[in-house]
Structure 1
């Protein structure tokens, strides 16, 4: 039997007449009678019995009718679910986020959820190198990562390039709100991330280009803990602008670094030559449209005010 025959049998069972069932199904009566006989031959049992002008289900026919209703309903629901998933209306968005995160992500996900309310989410946070590995292993489809990284295996959507700031406890002082690398070399530093990776490497290489040796006393990949330590005047740090925008409420002071070329670039990546889910495709399209609309996600007026407050500008 196939799904078509089950639909025929449901109509026969509910209409209790071949003629009425054929009319309901928009087919001729003889082919429908033939299909009923074919099902009975295949199953080796009688499915209906004639009672006057109407048909009555046998015990076997009653069981088949109940099963047919369930099977047809499941098939129809499956078709809807598959179509909705194919169109990105349902399914799961799996995305990795760099340890330093991105302050725009919550709002982007909110907008995405408003457009696709039946999507579910899996969000993983890790170092950029680990996120690349997870994308390659297909544990996640998308990841927000930071350079420097080898990304030859990935497709890339550039999101932003941002400066770094020198951050101390809130009681710190600095002339005109700026410091030099020469001044930074004299401070005990906590560097984000881990030696040899991403942001950490960017910072160390910037000191090296200036023939300076940073006084790194601590590495910390937990940014909340890092800022707690800075706030307690354990040591100072150097972090990308995003850190100041995402992690607020700490008693810290941020300063521009004079003459610095130090910058962090963040990108969205996904595996090349691999078919993405429609949910992932729709999220990439959202980021692209937001990027076009806001000139690569330039800070809003409110965000600029928050930055000024973090730097101690009046």
Structure 2
């Protein structure tokens, strides 16, 4: 049904006059009459009866008038809501965020909520590999992972921080006497790691594989504080990025040393699918990340 014809019909009924309806719509009276005739032809029965200067609605006319007002009202709401989206007065956004990366993005979340209180922001915690898959499939618009991401997924990435990785374990660990730790020195060491769907674990497994070492993993947990607790208890060595290490209270029972191996770091990046539409809310999130964390590094 032609919405313009519907609008002309509703205005004519409201004013009870073709002339007044034409004036309010800024068109000629003949245009209004023509559009209403087209609407009647589409409906298949008359909508208005003329009695002198008075107009009378038929049964079909009453239904079209009532539903027409509702339809035009919905169109006005749709236009208003679309305008709200473009001005970021409303909207929804879900960000895939690995648990260990939340400390880096906490100030971003705070700034985003302050700037865009009308946008409903949800944080979905998963490992980096899971988030990569969800972004690639379209389940998430945007997410956070560690680089390098899975090259087979074809994701676009914007790095916002690159930090060294430290081995963390009990003071009596054999590697604790060294200023930096070689991965090869950990081949017999029990390890407590994040689950396999976390990007840091993927990176560490790849690094061990590159030097021909099979890591001795004795436990895995998605909770970094539990990993540290197991390390304190002497269960094994774990690995922490520098920003997280800075928040730990390293007492006499814990040792932390940077990894000596080059190419192993905590390179945090935002990811999305290139060529896919990004909502106004997602683009606003990227802008807040740049404002709070600084622009992506060059090169």
Q: Residue 47 of structure 2 aligns with which residue?
A: 47
Q: Is the 8 A contact 2:194 2:220 kept in 1?
A: yes
Q: Residue 229 of structure 1 aligns with which residue?
A: 230
Is 1:32 paired with 2:12?
A: no
Say how many residue pairs are matched.
Answer: 290
1:44 shift after superposition: 3.9
Q: Is the 8 A contact 1:86 1:278 kept in 2?
A: yes
Deviations 1:9-34 (A, max 9, x none): 11111111222222211222233233
1:136 shift after superposition: 1.6
Q: Is the 8 A contact 1:228 1:250 kept in 2?
A: no
RMSD: 3.9
Runs of at least 5 residues in structure 1 that lack an aligned partner in the other structure = 297-314
Q: Residue 158 of structure 2 aligns with which residue?
A: 157
Q: Residue 268 of structure 1 aligns with which residue?
A: 270
Q: TM-score, normalised by structure 1?
A: 0.73
1:65 shift after superposition: 0.9
1:209 shift after superposition: 8.9
Q: Is the 8 A contact 1:181 1:207 kept in 2?
A: no
Q: Residue 128 of structure 2 aligns with which residue?
A: 128
Q: TM-score, normalised by structure 2?
A: 0.76
Tell me whether 37-46 or 66-75 shows the greater mean CA deviation. Answer: 37-46
Runs of at least 5 residues in structure 2 that lack an aligned partner in the other structure = none
Q: Residue 67 of structure 1 aligns with which residue?
A: 67
Counterparts of residues 1-314 of structure 1 (less than 5 Å):
1-50=1-50, 53-85=53-85, 89-151=89-151, 153-168=154-169, 179-181=179-181, 185=186, 188-194=190-196, 198-200=199-201, 202-203=203-204, 216-244=217-245, 253=254, 255-257=256-258, 261=262, 262-292=264-294
Query: Aligned in 2, Cα 1:119/1:21: closer, same or farther, shift over 3 Å?
Result: same
SS at match of 1:276: coil
Q: Residue 311 of structure 1 aligns with which residue?
A: none
Q: Is the 8 A contact 1:165 1:256 kept in 2?
A: yes
